[in-house]
Amino acid sequence: MPGIVFPKDFIWGCATASYQIEGAFDEDGKGESIWDRFSHTPGKILNGDNGDVACDHYHRYKEDIALMKEIGIQSYRYSISWPRIFPEGKGQYNEKGLDFYKRLTYELLKNGIKPSVTLYHWDLPQKLQDIGGWANRDVTDYFVEYAGLLFEKLGDVVPYWITQNEPWIVAFLGHMMGVHAPGIKDLKTALEVFHNILLSHGKAVGAYRQLNLPGKIGIAPNFSTKYPASDKKEDIEACELADGVLNKWFIYPVFKGTYPEDVVKFYRDRGAHFDFPPEDMKIIGADIDFLAINYYTSEFVKHHPVNGFVEINNELSQFEKTEMGWIIYPKGLYDLLLRLDNDCNKIDIIISENGAAFDDKIDENGNINDVKRMNYIKEHLIQAHKAIEEGVNLKGYYLWSLMDNFEWSFGYSKKFGIIHVNRENLKRTIKNSGYLYRDIIKNNGL
């Protein structure tokens, strides 16, 4: 590949999330989260895994930051556990919980690594779930109380803030499919949750602006690019609907002040009446400084007589797949970036998550030559660079993930890290993909 060089100020990062790496699930005054409750419920998580210990990052964060420095990571995206700060979700905050994130943040700064803080990456305080969770509109105000405390305590030194990670996954996997915490299966609840999460985002952005802080604030939706399985009209229409359900369902309220009518009708036809106060839409559409996008894969879509559309990736043998069963389709990232550049008024974009799970093998010398992950990273960066050359304001790339961690309902069975974590003794080993990333960062390109 001829030398690909990224813009001189391009940000090279890595991403994790609190419940997936920290452990210390009940230490130093932390309250129970909905993921503690879900993972402690028999049958919810593969192999009965849970995040009680995870990667023990709570105690090993200095070692992990030293590894980030060895790889040359310039920015680290981590999430804050709300119940570590507010064990009851609101009211009196927990000094010891806040102290952990102060120590973590200042250790990053000491090592020249820019903090990027995600306020919510799925671990809602269980006490708030007990009063309805995100389906309860009051929780949007408790979120602003939580965000406001962190803006006050860390706002001067944290340059990047992400309010919410993947509202769609929280709403639909957690409240319609029931495969994520809190395990609810109700479409109307899922729609209310999605709306309230966006509302909490808009309220938090408003609070951030009031404080005149030096950093930037955005949100991290999950997108995947949809392609019709054929050029038949019915498949093209099905693809449009699939794109609406996932991608337009976020883009429209945040950037256009309304929900997409075709998808609203789709839900109404399925018995989920959907409308929200117009004043909410103004709050949700608060100006943000950047759009953080999580991209992993794309889907091919065909018409379905009952459901309107069906995604057929598992029928497509021509594509390599990751251990998650997701097709590897780097052009989907390029197409997504061009689309967002057009639909979101050329807003600054960062790729806040991109990565892949593969069945890594450890050789007799203890090395991990994860070639498939190395190829995945290179192929997606080539597409990202192509988008930049087309004028997309892509400002950074955060690889998912720094280390093998708790992969939600799959437990520790799916490994996304560029650093291997031995589940017996939690020993960290940089994989060859980690050394590749080190060289990419050093060269600012491929």
Ligand X SMILES: OC[C@@H]1[C@@H](O)[C@H](O)[C@@H](O)c2nc(CNc3ccccc3)cn21
Q: Element (H or E) spanning 14, and its range? A: strand 11-15
Pick the closer one to ligand X by CB: 266 or 400.
400
* Sequence letter at residue 81: S
210 burial type by CB count under 10 A (0-12 exposed, 13-18 middle, 19+ buried): exposed
Please name the residue that has the structure tokens 């590949």: 1
C-alpha to C-alpha distance for 255 and 251, rounded to whole angstroms: 6
407 known ligand binder: yes
Among this protein's residues, is 166 annotated catalytic?
A: yes
Binding to ligand X by CB under 6 A, coded x per residue (else -) over 152-191, reads -------------xx--x---x------------------
Half-sphere exposure of 243 (CA within 13 A, CB side): 17
Taking CB under 6 A as the rule, does residue 360 contact ligand X?
A: no
Binding to ligand X by CB under 6 A, coded x per residue (else -) over 199-238, reads -----------------------x----------------
195 known ligand binder: no
Pick the closer one to ligand X by CB: 155 or 218.
218
261 known ligand binder: no
Among 163, 294, 298, 393, binds ligand X (CB under 6 A): 294
As measured in angstroms, the least distance from the Cβ of 287 to ligand X is 24
Pick the closer one to ligand X by CB: 93 or 300.
300
Q: What residues numbered 62-81 form the site for ligand X, per CB under 6 A?
A: none
Assess contact for 296 and 332: CB atoms under 8 A.
no
As measured in angstroms, the least distance from the Cβ of 166 to ligand X is 5
C-alpha to C-alpha distance for 148 and 138, rounded to whole angstroms: 16
Among this protein's residues, is 379 annotated catalytic?
A: no
Taking CB under 6 A as the rule, does residue 400 contact ligand X?
A: yes
What is each CA distance from 147 to 165, 169, 211, 407, in whole angstroms? 14, 21, 12, 25
As measured in angstroms, the least distance from the Cβ of 223 to ligand X is 9
Give the count of residues interacting with ligand X (CB under 6 A). 13
Taking CB under 6 A as the rule, does residue 407 contact ligand X?
A: yes
Binding to ligand X by CB under 6 A, coded x per residue (else -) over 411-430, reads -----x--------------
71 burial type by CB count under 10 A (0-12 exposed, 13-18 middle, 19+ buried): buried
Task: Give me Rg for the CA atoms of the chain.
Answer: 21
Among 353, 360, 370, 404, binds ligand X (CB under 6 A): 353
Q: Element (H or E) spanning 340, and its range? A: helix 331-343
> Tokens in use for 107?
């250790």
Pick the closer one to ligand X by CB: 77 or 127.
77
C-alpha to C-alpha distance for 288 and 345, rounded to whole angstroms: 12
As measured in angstroms, the least distance from the Cβ of 382 to ligand X is 21
Pick the closer one to ligand X by CB: 94 or 118.
118
C-alpha to C-alpha distance for 78 and 368, rounded to whole angstroms: 25
Nearest to 349 by CA among 28, 60, 52, 10: 10
As measured in angstroms, the least distance from the Cβ of 297 to ligand X is 8
Please name the residue that has the structure tokens 């408003």: 206
Q: Element (H or E) spanning 238, and its range? A: helix 233-243
Catalytic residues: 166, 353
Binding-site residues, in ranges, read: 20, 121, 165, 296, 400, 407-408
Binding-site residues for substrate, in ranges, read: 20, 121, 165, 296, 400, 407-408
Binding site for ligand X (CB under 6 A): 17, 20, 165-166, 169, 173, 222, 294, 296, 353, 400, 407, 416
